[in-house]
Chain A
Amino acid sequence: MSRYLVNKFLYTVDRHPDLVERYREDPRGTVAWWEAEEANRLLNCVSQERSTWLAFADDEREALATHDYPRLFELGAHPFLTLTLFIALFERDHEQPLGFQLEYAQRLSGYSLPYPDITT
């Protein structure tokens, strides 16, 4: 389980306009590139200083590669990060105000309390 790394993916993509578009157009390719190049980057350090041990679990990688946000919820990804990024990805495809947000709630409607743990 690498909940922290899933969050790191959502966080670093969400804050970068080009990556948001890249992830929308090519989720599987973006996740593969990100895991190879970015997953072990220390965010507040020069590029020569890297971690060596961070990798997705298979189900995490697959959920990210398929834009499967209900599965990310189930895996304990931080719901604020997932929501914010997925609004950026897909709100534009809905004509009604809050159309995507309401569809998102509907797709999660099978979950009840307690929700999956999000502690990292």
Chain B
Amino acid sequence: MRFWLIIIGSGLVTYLTRASFIVFGDKVPLPPVVERSLKYVAPASFAAISVPLFLGGDGIAGFGEDIPRIIAGAAAAAVIWRWKNIPASLVVGMGLFWLLG
């Protein structure tokens, strides 16, 4: 029961973050400079999510172990940059990761 309550609570706060401005705050005025800055939410979020995952988590001491991930990630990024193709980048990235790791 406790487990279900915590899961439902977690679902609720997650939903509230998603609905925050679309449903509840649709009329809340934001300063124009903030409105204009929102187009940078995408690059800032995706970088803040992905980069720490490439770097493992052991800091500088563990950098050697991160090298296969970094090479695979860089190659995948190059494929996306050139061909805008996520599945192809996944094949290249996973392939290199398996070869080097």
Partners in one complex: no
A residues at B contact (CB < 8 Å):
none
